[in-house]
Amino acid sequence: MASIARTSGNIFSGVETNTDLAGLVSIAGAQPQAIAILLKDLSANATNIDAEGEADETIDIVLRLIQTAGTISYFQVETGTPYQISVMIERSGWTAATLQTAIRALGTAVGTNSKDVSLSTVTNVGFKLALS
């Protein structure tokens, strides 16, 4: 593999976004966001989404909503409490606050099984490739 010796600049030369050593650096140019979504009902109880993976069910609807303002690179659905959906989004127009508002606005009867997501929470949790 060929390499080019760096004679000036730093490790972030040519990187489009995020020049913080503590943050995730995307060489490809799209700065990803790592988002944790906890789906909760009107009483702030976790919304059971274990059987919500089909078309027009809760998970599908939430993921389609995210894609209206960003590109999902990866997602993972935790089964069992707390029923978290973890999503890595690129080229996103979402902040944690705007996505939380949009998910909550889906209401109390989401999808074919009418799941309540009206008090869901969204957090930008950051991302680390590995810990020692």
DSSP output for 16-65: -S---TTSPP-TTS---EEEEEE-B-TTSPBPP-TT--STTSHHHHHHHH
Q: Go through the domains of the chain in sequence order and give each one's CATH number.
A: 33-124 (3.30.70)
CA 45 – CA 43 distance, rounded (Å): 5
CA 30 – CA 115 distance, rounded (Å): 33
Q: Flag whether the pTM goes above 0.85.
A: no
pLDDT at 19 over 70: no
| Model confidence pLDDT, tens digit, residues 93-117 | 999 999 999 999 999 999 999 999 9
Which residues fall within 8 angstroms of residue 70, CB to CB, at 6 or more apart? 33, 89, 90, 91, 92, 93, 94
Residue 51 confidence (pLDDT): 92
Q: What percentage of residues in the chain have a pLDDT greater than 70?
A: 75
| Model confidence pLDDT, tens digit, residues 60-80 | 999 999 999 999 999 999 988
